Copies of this chain bind each other. A is one copy, B any other.
Amino acid sequence: MVEVSQMIDSDVFLAFSTYATIVVLKMLLLGPMTGYYRMTRKAFSNLEDTTIHGRNEEDKKKFLRTDPDVERVRRCHQNDLENIVPFVVIGLLYALSGPALSTALLHFRVFVGSRFLHTHTVAYLLPLPQPCRGASWIVGMLTTFSMGYQLLSTSLVL
């Protein structure tokens, strides 16, 4: 019997494991970030969440509203889900298809870099104008397509 733990000795797999973990944890952190914005902007979706801010029923209901900053973080979270999930799936299969370490590292680094840039431009943390958010989104997507293309061209079973 083969030890599963040996599988992780492959350098490409280890690299994928590291970058995937980092980018997925980054995505997960947008959850508490939404919560933080909901608390400071006092904009909630569920009536029972407003208890600490309002006392009576009428007071509470006015906190059931949308806020531009909360929606901005939520769209960022959604964009992360839509782009990081394909990266993780295709990246895992790509890492298992035995690519060259340098090519694989290039793909992983460009993707993770583009997603961190995307989040920073969304959060206005970096003073970069609009083309930056769009460009980082497109670069990340092209990386995933590139891996998908190599995966399908090396091993296609229909």
Contacts and interface: CB of A to CB of B under 8 A. Distances in A.
Give the interface size class of chain A: 35 or more
B155 A14 contact: yes
How many chain copies?
Answer: 3
A126 interface: no
Given A11-B157, A25-B148, A86-B27, A6 B2 contact: yes
B82 A77 contact: yes
A110 interface: no
A49 B3 contact: no
23 contacts: A3-B10, A4-B96, A5-B98, A7-B7, A8-B155, A11-B157, A14-B157, A17-B93, A17-B96, A17-B97, A19-B158, A21-B93, A21-B152, A22-B152, A25-B144, A25-B148, A28-B82, A30-B82, A31-B137, A45-B71, A46-B72, A46-B133, A81-B81
